[in-house]
A = this chain, B = another copy of it.
Amino acid sequence: MALVEGMPAGVTVRASDINRELARRQAGYGRGGRMKIERDEVELLSGVRFEKTLGGPVAMLVRNLDWQNWTERMAQSGDRGDIPLLVTARPGHADLSGVLKHGHDDVRNVLERASARETAPRVMAGTLAKLLLDSVGIKILGQVLSIGKVRVPESMAGDPATALASDSSELRMADPGAERKARRLIDRAIKDGTSVGGVVEVIATGVPPGLGSFVSWERRLDGRLGQAIMSIQAVKGVEIGDAVAAAGLPGSAVHDEIFRGSRRGNPLMGGYLLPFHRKTNRAGGVEGGMSNGEPVVVRAAMKPIPTQSNALRTVTVGDWKATTAHKERSDVCAVPACSVVAEAMVAVVLADVFLEKFGGDSLAEIQYNYKGYLESIRGRRT
């Protein structure tokens, strides 16, 4: 279930758009059996008529096809009967802290909600954001930069063309050689009863300068991207542009000098040309808490999925005895899915800051306001 408030009226939305993104989330080499059970199909419950948004909340439901196997154990009514408590807390998951926080005696009361399946609604909401952004010339592209220690070539990072190409790779890696190695790495991890993480990247093109704000910390674009990405399950690190590398370099090698004249126009906005450009984009399109007109580039470091078939040591909740973690069905490598989810989260943040600047009641109004802003940059808004 995803509920999206704040969509302007007049944006074209089809269930097929959402289903396509849900399928991208479910693809990938090294996914668990779960992905075979579920083929997510969205039901639009409200907010859309004749394929156009109406301006009200858009409610979207994806039924869990695995649900039939859980009707008894996860029943909403009736009593528990002889269904056993699950009391082992898996390291790396919400299990332990979740039961303590809420006073549960059953780890299952936590883990079903804390499941990475929660990323499906993120993708559903993100699709709406992408459709809105697409109407104003902003494209969101994702790719996998590394799985385990296997990386695509450095030059592919930050490159929209590469990110676009990665969509036809099962592991969302644009470099076929790296993808082959990554498959072998995943095979090895399966054999070893472990899992692998990696790094994903999202690139947003066509973003105008001035989204976000420098005036207070909650409104900064960098902070909001930081929250959105860090909130993705298993993501523990975020950088915008070349942050980690830049921390080791002198300032002279880090900042993106500004040059007069335009490099490209946005065809969706009538080929609009900015009167300046950069030759580098180490800042990842964000300066001073705002977009700067260059592509926004965000990277996320994902830890290996904690569920291991070679189980980790842990304790039981309540009587605190030593045991090993139980196994829920799980992926060995969810890095490609993570890149799709990260696209969704970047889209949600950019749609938010776009609507804050340009209003939010209808697409026609937003496009008119946006055009006026672009014209004002050249001093031509009347």
Contact = CB atoms under 8 A, between A and B. Distances in A.
A78 interface: yes
A303 to B, nearest CB: 5
Contacts of A246: 197, 236, 301, 303-304
A76 B15 contact: yes
A358 B318 CA distance: 22
Interface string A57-91: 10101000000000000111111100000000101
B260 A101 contact: no
A239 B236 contact: yes
A48 to B, nearest CB: 5
B9 A102 contact: yes
Contacts of A247: 146, 197-199, 236-237, 301-303
Nearest to A358: B359
Contacts of A268: none
Interface in A333-381: 356-362, 364-365, 368-369, 372-373, 376-377, 379, 381
Given A248-B149, A362-B102, A255 B54 contact: no
Given A113-B215, A216-B57, A283-B236, A76 B44 contact: yes
A169 interface: no
A359 to B, nearest CB: 5
Interface stretch (A32-40, A92-100, A176-184): A92-100
A135 interface: no
A101 B241 CA distance: 22
A347 to B, nearest CB: 14
Given A93-B287, A96-B209, A369 B359 contact: yes
B54 A101 contact: no
Interface stretch (A20-28, A154-162, A217-225): A217-225
Copy number in this complex? 4
Nearest to A148: B248
A195 B259 CA distance: 22
Interface in A132-163: 146, 148-149
A295 to B, nearest CB: 14
Nearest to A241: B236
Contacts of A131: none
A206 interface: no
Given A48-B76, A93-B288, A223 B215 contact: no
Contacts of A308: 251-252, 255
A13 to B, nearest CB: 8
A236 B222 contact: yes
A111 B65 CA distance: 34
A357 B189 CA distance: 39
A302 to B, nearest CB: 6
14 contacts: A91-B257, A97-B210, A146-B247, A218-B231, A220-B230, A220-B231, A222-B230, A222-B235, A223-B227, A226-B230, A236-B242, A247-B301, A257-B312, A259-B322
Given A15-B77, A94-B288, A197-B246, 7 more contacts: A97-B210, A101-B357, A110-B288, A146-B247, A148-B250, A196-B251, A236-B243
Kindly list the 9 A-B residue pairs having the minimum CB-CB distance in the complex, ordered from nearest: A94-B288, A226-B230, A237-B243, A223-B231, A101-B210, A236-B243, A251-B304, A227-B227, A237-B239
